[in-house]
Structure 1
């Protein structure tokens, strides 16, 4: 057997991922994510659970209507009613989930094993009679009696199930045990078996890889590893582990991974942790001078893969750990030419900011360099005045008067809050000089009390170029304005 041959991916970002507390996707959101997942090359997209609501069914139908290459799937319980709702959505397949541990059978369903077996077989046959592909899944399989599970799977195949799935519902597997279980199951049943893991103990990727090595043919994954509690198996981790650590090819278009990650993060409102493997903000970001010095010689000294492989870029940030190599590289990218004396002066000022616990943004470095080099630069975008209206009975609205390249521009915007409305109005006001996107927004209180000084850090992008900048005021809206304008002026 060739390791990881023809591994398939079922992505459940739109179903299990949406079950992340606080996440609710619109039809437009689901279509956008599904389209990007299809571009990635996943085999199956679990678009939702048709039984949930009419709104959910509309979303699933909208995904189906896109005519994507991927198989579109709906989650179903072992009930004919669920299958009927899935049929209404015109999906290709169903993920038919049967509780298989005695804990779930007796406590959750208040039934016995044979009743569950009967329900699962009848629902499988019903779905097949109506032309659906069926993936019969054992919920809480890692706590089930293995012999009962295998017999249920075998009966499911006899009833017409096309695929089977083993669910580690609360993340209790370890890789060694996973390997033993899948060696046993895959040799005992006559259908492809999937692995569906949760990350409660941080082992979802390891267990998924172990299952695939032991004969599983398909991995259930989510983008960014989102999902209930601690989340599901990360698509990006499994794909890149197979491709780069095991040197086996998948059919996933890896250069689209980071774009897909950012899209899912933005639409779900779930930020990616900075230290998240591969897609976290720090994954290809370097500060320490000795690391940057090594990178300049050979990027593989401190990077396991080139960031371009997953659609990312390398970034050097500055702080108290920065060295001459870091500052020289950053200044070069900004177009500054400095001598040794000027370089040391700039480096000292950067470290001083770092010693005070500050993150040194691109705008900070530019300001430091221009001061040391005695460069006078007039800002192209200047705030004259702004007004914000917000309250419990009004939609937050902001109006701004800016000078853009010497021209007076007045714009208004609305948002979820006063900051969002102000940012919207600024973006509209500067549209004539480019489409500026707010990629990240972060706020910290520097001092205590209701009059606290707040620091706002923003990451802005325009035409593929990205900068970071800051603003610090006692007024969070003004701090946000300051950060936005600093970044916009840096971008242009």
Structure 2
């Protein structure tokens, strides 16, 4: 049989038939995941075509996966963060959904308060296990969509659920049919997909879901969950770790439309952002993440990183107010009391601060030399300089100009005698054994002493 691919405008053979491959023993891919060694990355040199969807978007799991790694948010904090997510990308639909736990009274209250906001975006959705007793929570909350945990690797099916593949499949389909009977759209979370038997379980299961979706005329989404962060985006990498292979396979072999596909990654091997971008590039419309990347173990794909990636890929810069990213970071620091790692990209207190004198010298000439973009305009975060024994005269001059907002001909040059005297004081500090940076307060005192009359006293 041949079928016409509307996207590529070509005929393709429809000869791939994948049936559930049950087994009495789990396939744990021990050659790839030896456990007592670092997981291996095999290659079979199969290249998947890039197939970026017409529409791509972000979904949020800050209030589900994000709460599995930290003390629970209060109801007020959830509602406040929900407002900020809406402000960042909800109005445009870039951040389409927020996922919530439904199991306790506090989470249910937060869901109700967020629903009362009446926002079109982000839509409030739920998350449940694949058991019917959980499904009543979704109905009680009046949600239109819920995630359903559908563990897909033999690690989970055999070792956690104590079932075989056929039993697991039947259990998942049973709860999914119950959702469809109530008119609720199921979002099936293929947990641990990067350690799954892709052709022996994932594709046959996905094909069954697409049949149910067609029969019910209700979208059934699939969230491909890289639960252990094992995914890789390298061209020619073999399944089950290949992100391009997973997305292409779900599209091409299981017939899952891009708009029904969502990627959920973890950062165990520092690959969350690159894997998420790869999923977009190879045919997945939705990418799931959390604010600041907070999530179980090493965390999820950061929402703020996905926003920047989206703008880099699509160029719709006018669509998003990226300064809201800084508002979110400030809320975590000031209201929640979370200590963001200072060098974390885009949100850390020192992400655009330089300490090296040679870099400061470049910044004095033109800040584009050592700043990633106009951080003052795009993130409301002007560049910064921290003074240490490595700063030199250029770093000290740059600190003065930035701290006191001196521009144009009012800037203090690095060869100014006052700067030279401050540098001598700084050098002496470290000769005497200092190991920490010079504080802003100390620098202000030195400016008062050595630049009195140059910088207005009321400024200092």
Give the Cα separation in 2 of the matches to 1:217 and 1:354. Answer: 53
Is the 2:262–2:286 contact (alpha carbons within 8 Å) kept by the matching residues of 1? yes
Give the Cα separation in 2 of the matches to 1:103 and 1:3. Answer: 31
Task: Give 2:232's aligned residue.
Answer: 174
Q: Is residue 122 of structure 1 aligned with residue 174 of structure 2?
A: yes
* Aligned with 2:395 (options 326, 346, 357): 326
Determine helix, strand or coil for the equivalent of 1:175: coil
Task: Give 1:241's aligned residue.
Answer: 309
Is the 1:354–1:360 contact (alpha carbons within 8 Å) kept by the matching residues of 2? no
Q: Is residue 6 of structure 1 aligned with residue 75 of structure 2?
A: no
Task: Give 2:113's aligned residue.
Answer: 62
Determine helix, strand or coil for the equivalent of 2:126: strand
Is the 2:371–2:383 contact (alpha carbons within 8 Å) kept by the matching residues of 1? no
Give the Cα separation in 1 of the matches to 2:138 and 2:448. Answer: 62
| Structure 1 position 268, deviation (Å) | 5.1
| Structure 1 position 67, deviation (Å) | 1.6
Name the TM-score, length of structure 2 as normaliser.
Answer: 0.75
* Aligned with 2:202 (options 149, 172, 176): 149
Q: Is residue 256 of structure 1 aligned with residue 324 of structure 2?
A: yes
* Aligned with 1:53 (options 91, 104, 120): 104
Name the TM-score, length of structure 1 as normaliser.
Answer: 0.70
* Aligned with 2:443 (options 352, 361, 365): 365
Task: Give 1:139's aligned residue.
Answer: 191
* Aligned with 2:360 (options 292, 296, 319): 292
Is the 2:63–2:101 contact (alpha carbons within 8 Å) kept by the matching residues of 1? no
Task: Give 2:250's aligned residue.
Answer: 185
Is the 1:71–1:92 contact (alpha carbons within 8 Å) kept by the matching residues of 2? no
Instruction: Name stretches of at least 5 consecutive residues in structure 1 with no aligned partner.
Output: 380-489
Task: Give 1:163's aligned residue.
Answer: 221
Give the Cα separation in 2 of the matches to 1:124 and 1:265. Answer: 40
Q: Cα deviations across residues 219-239 of structure 1 (Å, max 9, x unaligned)?
A: 011111110011111122233
Give the Cα separation in 2 of the matches to 1:37 and 1:252. Answer: 11
Determine helix, strand or coil for the equivalent of 2:58: strand
Give the Cα separation in 2 of the matches to 1:267 and 1:335. Answer: 28
Q: Cα deviations across residues 305-346 of structure 1 (Å, max 9, x unaligned)?
A: 221323422112212122333323433443898793322112
Task: Give 1:351's aligned residue.
Answer: 427
* Aligned with 1:280 (options 348, 355, 371): 348
| Structure 1 position 270, deviation (Å) | 3.7
**C-alpha distance 234-373 of structure 1, shift in aligned 2 (>3 A):** closer
| Structure 1 position 141, deviation (Å) | 1.2
Give the Cα separation in 2 of the matches to 1:196 and 1:302. Answer: 33
| Structure 1 position 36, deviation (Å) | 0.6
Task: Give 1:456's aligned residue.
Answer: none
Q: Is residue 205 of structure 1 aligned with residue 256 of structure 2?
A: no
Give the Cα separation in 2 of the matches to 1:354 and 1:223. Answer: 39
Instruction: Name stretches of at least 5 consecutive residues in structure 2 with no aligned partner.
Output: 1-6, 8-50, 214-218, 235-241
Task: Give 2:96's aligned residue.
Answer: 44
Task: Give 1:301's aligned residue.
Answer: 369
* Aligned with 1:16 (options 40, 49, 65): 65
Is the 2:146–2:184 contact (alpha carbons within 8 Å) kept by the matching residues of 1? yes
**C-alpha distance 242-55 of structure 1, shift in aligned 2 (>3 A):** closer
> Of Structure 1 and Structure 2, which has the larger fraction of its residues in strand?
1
The 5 A counterparts of 1:57-96 are 57-69=108-120, 70-96=122-148
**C-alpha distance 491-155 of structure 1, shift in aligned 2 (>3 A):** farther
Q: Cα deviations across residues 191-238 of structure 1 (Å, max 9, x unaligned)?
A: 321111111111111111111111111101111111001111112223
Task: Give 2:33's aligned residue.
Answer: none
Give the Cα separation in 1 of the matches to 2:421 and 2:158. Answer: 72
Is the 1:44–1:73 contact (alpha carbons within 8 Å) kept by the matching residues of 2? no
Give the Cα separation in 2 of the matches to 1:360 and 1:72. Answer: 47
Number of equivalent positions: 376
Give the Cα separation in 1 of the matches to 2:321 and 2:182. Answer: 33
Give the Cα separation in 2 of the matches to 1:235 and 1:367. Answer: 40
Task: Give 1:34's aligned residue.
Answer: 82
Is the 1:34–1:45 contact (alpha carbons within 8 Å) kept by the matching residues of 2? no
| Structure 1 position 4, deviation (Å) | 5.8
**C-alpha distance 5-294 of structure 1, shift in aligned 2 (>3 A):** farther
| Structure 1 position 294, deviation (Å) | 1.3
Task: Give 2:238's aligned residue.
Answer: none
Give the Cα separation in 1 of the matches to 2:379 and 2:181. Answer: 42
